[in-house]
Amino acid sequence: MLVKDIMTTQVITVSTEDTVEICANLLMEHKFSGLPVLNSEGNLVGIVTEGDLIRRASRIKAPPALALLGGLIYLGNPKKFIDEIKRAMSQKAGELMSKKIITVRPDDTIEHAATLMMDHKIKRLPVVNEEGKLAGIVSRRDIMAYLYPGK
C-alpha cells in the first residue's frame, strides 16, 4: 500500500507570519503534534512542533566559556547558542519552526514512511507532490490504523 492511500489530505497549516500563539492554539485545539509551515507562495518551508513550543519556554544553556584577558573563549558552539536564543524569543512561526523537513511522496510505500519516522524519531511526515507542494500529511496514527485495523 502507498502513502497516498492513508494520508490526510485536508491539512491544517500555518504561514511563516502566523504567531506562536496561533500555532499553539491550533495544536491544542486539534490535538496535533506538529503543523506544516507554508511561505507566501504556498511552499512547505518548515514544521512547528509541540517540542519547538516547549523548547521556547525552557531554559537555554550557555556553552561553557573561559574568561581570558578580559574576553571570553567559548568552549562550545556559540552560534548554536545564539540560534537557540533567537528561537526562544521568536514571535512568528517562520522564526520558531524546524527547517529541516523530512518528507515523503504520495507514491512512496507505507513501509518507507514508517522507516523514516522511526529512523528520525518523528511523529508525522509531510507528503509533497512532484512540484514540492504539500499534498497531505501522514502520521503515526495513520500508519497504526493501516497496520492494526480495528472496528
What's the structural domain count of the chain?
Answer: 1
**Would you say residue 133 has pLDDT above 70?**
yes
Rounded average pLDDT over 38-65: 79
Query: Could you tell me how many helices (H) and strands (E) the chain has, helices first?
Result: 7, 7
Which stretch of DSSP H or E encloses residue 141?
Answer: helix 140-147
Structure confidence at residue 29 as a pLDDT band (50, 70, 90): very high
Q: What is the mean pLDDT of the chain?
A: 86
Are the C-beta atoms of 69 and 78 separated by less than 8 Å? no
Structure confidence at residue 2 as a pLDDT band (50, 70, 90): very high
For 94-116, what is each residue's pLDDT tens digit? Answer: 988 989 999 999 999 999 999 99
Instruction: Please tell me the distance from the alpha carbon of residue 65 to that of residue 78, in angstroms, as a whole number.
Output: 9
Rounded average pLDDT over 74-98: 70
Which stretch of DSSP H or E encloses residue 139?
Answer: strand 134-139
> Looking at residue 34, which CATH number applies to its domain?
3.10.580.10
For 3-14, what is each residue's pLDDT tens digit? Answer: 999 999 999 999
Beta-sheet pairing, 14-15 with 34-38: parallel
* Domain carrying residue 29: 3-147
**Would you say residue 85 has pLDDT above 60?**
no
